[in-house]
């Protein structure tokens, strides 16, 4: 099995997600349900995060990207979980946040092993999921 397919399968299993390979790009289909409160109404939404890696090199590193939708109250815990994970963020790690009235979109990118990116991302998802159960 070629290296890209092996890595795609590994990341898919880690994230419990479907993967799709398009040329040299691996797309990870991660779905999340959130409840958005706006004014005095609440909306349940199913969102598919855009997570991918491309340009997988022989050393196992790739260019990783994720576009994650969060509630405003989840941002601090999510970013803290990413930065305090036992797998440190690489030097070239970047993120930015776009805000909308009731949701945030977090864009992440790094050059590292896709499984490290996925493990760290999963840990951050687990933290916000646990915190939402406590609230």
HEC letters along 56-93: CCCCCCEEEEEEEEECHHHHHHHHHHHHCCCCCCCCCC
Could you read off the pLDDT tens digit of each residue along the chain, which spans 135 residues?
A: 589 999 999 999 999 999 999 999 999 988 888 887 777 888 788 888 889 999 999 999 999 999 999 999 999 999 999 999 999 999 888 999 998 878 899 999 999 999 999 999 999 999 998 877 765
Domain that holds residue 7: 2-132
pLDDT at residue 1, rounded to an integer: 52
> For the chain, percent helix, then strand, then coil, each to nearest 5?
35, 40, 25
In the beta sheet, which residues pair with residue 126? none
Strand order through the sheet with 41-54: 18-22, 25-38, 41-54, 62-70, 104-112, 94-99
As a whole number of angstroms, the distance between CA 83 and CA 97 comes to 15
pLDDT at residue 134, rounded to an integer: 65
pLDDT at residue 135, rounded to an integer: 57
CATH of the domain at 65: 3.90.1150
pLDDT at residue 39, rounded to an integer: 76
Domain count for the chain: 1
């Amino acid at each position: 099995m070629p290296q890209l397919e092996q890595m795609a399968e590994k990341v898919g299993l880690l994230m419990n997600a479907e993967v799709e390979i398009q040329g040299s790009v691996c797309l990870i289909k991660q779905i999340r349900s959130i409840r958005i409160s706006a004014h005095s109404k609440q909306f349940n939404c199913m969102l598919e995060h855009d997570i991918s890696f491309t340009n997988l090199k022989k050393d196992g590193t790739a260019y990783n990207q994720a576009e994650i939708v969060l509630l405003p109250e989840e941002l601090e815990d999510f970013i803290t979980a990413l930065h305090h994970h036992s797998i440190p963020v690489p030097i070239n790690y970047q993120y930015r946040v776009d805000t909308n009235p009731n949701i945030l979109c977090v864009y992440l990118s790094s050059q590292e092993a896709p499984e490290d990116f996925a493990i760290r991302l999963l840990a951050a998802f687990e933290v916000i999921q646990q915190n939402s159960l406590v609230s």
